[in-house]
Amino acid sequence: MRHFLSSADVTVDEQRALIARAIDLKQSRAALARPLAGKSVGLIFEKPSTRTRVSFEAAIFELGGNAIALRSDELQLGRGETLQDTGTVLSRYLAGIVMRTFGQDRLEEVAEMATIPVINALSDMEHPCQALADVMTITERFDDLSQVRLAYLGDGNNVCHSLLLAGAKAGFAEIRVAAPKGFEPIEPIVEMAAQIGEETGCRIEVTSDPSAAAKGAHVLYTDVWTSMGQDQERDTRLKAFEGFQISNDRLAEAAPDAIVLHCLPAHRGEEIAGDVIDGLQSAVWDQAENRLHTQKALLEFLIGSRRRSPRK
């Protein structure tokens, strides 16, 4: 029984196999495999969601399973039941739990007592399902990942953390993160990515210079500058991130065949120019679609073939 709480929770070979399977599932979407037939998966959402919720519900349905969407205020969590008890009880009903929450510790508490796989559908620390779709999208566009230079411009947040780990496992040539001082990815994640990169040939760099990061890059990636729960910091963040927008000028610094990625939702005119996200070099909509296919591969891997274990 396996959990997927972090991009670190799969090996290099397992991530490669998940991406390959996701590509197969995308190409043969009309020929529905049903490895989740007769199984239900619970989706606990403590934060708003568009792509994550819809793609997971569609993925579970297309794999033959039943998705049960749950808001935290609809559960006894809202009345003080512990996360450990919730994980224990849901394990007796479900084949897996998908959870979108705040602190990474909340996922870990559910996983501690769950006897079924728990999947991180976003926490304040990581967004590993997004990173799988990111790697798949890049794999579709470039033949040799070992030559790909990726530049992430903006907040060193949960998306950046998972991208560092998954990109290092994918064996990109280089991942450059450009973030203003005080907004860098946390050091333990950077160190872990660098250690993975020593094995896969991926170089990790963190800088405060967006132009240097973008120069010659094959992939330009960004996320919103103000994430959920940071609204009170909006004015401060907009000032701090001046100069970090993926604009046409920034895109001109990248490689001629560069693609642009954004995990969405996007604030056009802030972290990315409208004519860039909607332009010919944008792969954002393929990236969004690929959430479905990578999550199908992940659900199949974690849940599809497993037998029910004895309950606690």
Q: Which two tokens stand for residue 187?
A: 């050091």
Return the axis-axis angle of helices 128-141 and 284-299, rounded to nearest 10°: 120
Q: Which two tokens stand for residue 123?
A: 């926490």
Question: Which of 3, 21, 51, 127 is labelled catalytic?
Answer: 127
Question: Which of 21, 51, 130, 155 is labelled catalytic?
Answer: 130
CB 223 within 8 A of CB 265: no
CB 179 within 8 A of CB 212: no
223 is catalytic: yes
If you count DSSP H runs as helices and E runs as strands, how many of each does the chain have, helices first?
12, 9
Return the axis-axis angle of helices 187-200 and 12-27, rounded to nearest 10°: 80
Question: Which of 129, 160, 202, 263 is labelled catalytic?
Answer: 263
Which residues lie below 8 Å from residue 244, measured CB to CB, with a gap of 6+? 153, 154, 178, 179, 180, 210, 222, 225, 271
Q: Which two tokens stand for residue 87?
A: 């994980």
127 is catalytic: yes
Question: Which of 100, 149, 176, 262 is labelled catalytic?
Answer: 100
85 is catalytic: no
Other residues' Cβ atoms within 10 Å of the Cβ of residue 306? 16
Question: Which of 161, 250, 291, 293 is labelled catalytic?
Answer: 291
Question: Which of 51, 218, 223, 262 is labelled catalytic?
Answer: 223
21 is catalytic: no
Distances (CA, A) of 15 to 18, 64, 144, 185, 214: 5, 23, 16, 22, 26
Return the axis-axis angle of helices 187-200 and 158-170, rounded to nearest 10°: 10
Q: Which residues are catalytic?
A: 100, 127, 130, 223, 263, 291
